[in-house]
Homo-oligomer: A and B are copies of this chain.
């Protein structure tokens, strides 16, 4: 009756409608025990009649909990990132939280301002795939008591909770695998050399190369846009002609494959190729793409778990770091052909994955 015109009904409207006090209505809304059943029913009815929707913003202002967490990533196009987000989202939802996603485009500047914006919106927690390895541009948010979890990249000198994968070891394994094929001039191709992941993967690559008494040769571009056919021709296929390629991340693999194609070279066939990061169609490519597969789902879940554990538990737990194993998924682009006997062992004792039934042709 006495509803303020043109405005969504408030709890006060509900209380009036149900002829109870504001606080009683509030108690019903929050499922408090201390209300007579009779009144609960009345309030519920009033809510339904009015089409009442609680204003979470008002509630947040009082409780100092927004029920939102933020996630900042570098590149929304990367399926790996998406899978992580998807998992985080799921965990968040099951905890009654929403997630605000922002993208830094790999630029620290943008990252900073996005985080700032999230903090102003009073997010309760933050998950970041840092755009750089630096700590300076992030420290301004530390003084606040908001929990932060980083994944993918590690931030130097911080002691934030973090979830990372076995970059170095997996890169070493992958390189070793190609070496076991007999390739000698395996070239590592990647982007953004300053990133933690790049550095680690390169280190793993170098280790395997050096151990085999081979000269490591990594070709990293500052930005993916530089990874063109022309560049490939000059840097990778030119004088020091590579006899195999180890691509260090998703975007570089995509670029390499395109570049090679433009040169009339079939990646993985004319020249062996192993990729750090898998693709949606990686298993149906011809030949199947051999990859180091990141445990993206697990990564997302663990990141979210760390965050929510801090959000629930009030104690001052020590910071935790989780290291997740990446998995070498051997298909064919690395030079493997499925012609071996059922019990034959693979180069470095890997297990064959039964992923390409038809590949038993040569």
Chain A interface residues (CB < 8 Å from chain B)? 8, 51, 53-58, 60-61, 66-68, 76-77, 79, 82-83, 85-86, 89, 93, 98-103, 116-122, 140, 143-144, 254, 257-258, 261-267, 269, 279-286, 356-358
Contacts and interface: CB of A to CB of B under 8 A. Distances in A.
Contacts of A82: 76-77, 82
B284 A120 contact: no
Given A82-B77, A101-B99, A102-B89, A55 B122 contact: yes
Contacts of A101: 89, 99-101
Contacts of A266: 286, 358
Contacts of A285: 281, 284-286
Contact of A98 (B58, B100, B356): B100
B261 A122 contact: no
A270 to B, nearest CB: 9
Q: How many copies of this chain?
A: 2
Contact of A358 (B54, B68, B118, B265): B265
Nearest to A75: B86
A51 B120 CA distance: 12
| Majority DSSP secondary structure for residues of A touching B | mixed
A58 B61 contact: yes
A97 B296 CA distance: 28
A103 B76 contact: no
B89 A357 contact: no
Q: Report the 7 A-B pairs with minimum CB-CB distance, sorted nearest first.
A: A264-B358, A257-B284, A286-B286, A76-B86, A56-B121, A56-B120, A262-B357
Contacts of A102: 89, 93, 98
A280 B283 contact: no
Contacts of A57: 57, 60-61, 66, 121-122
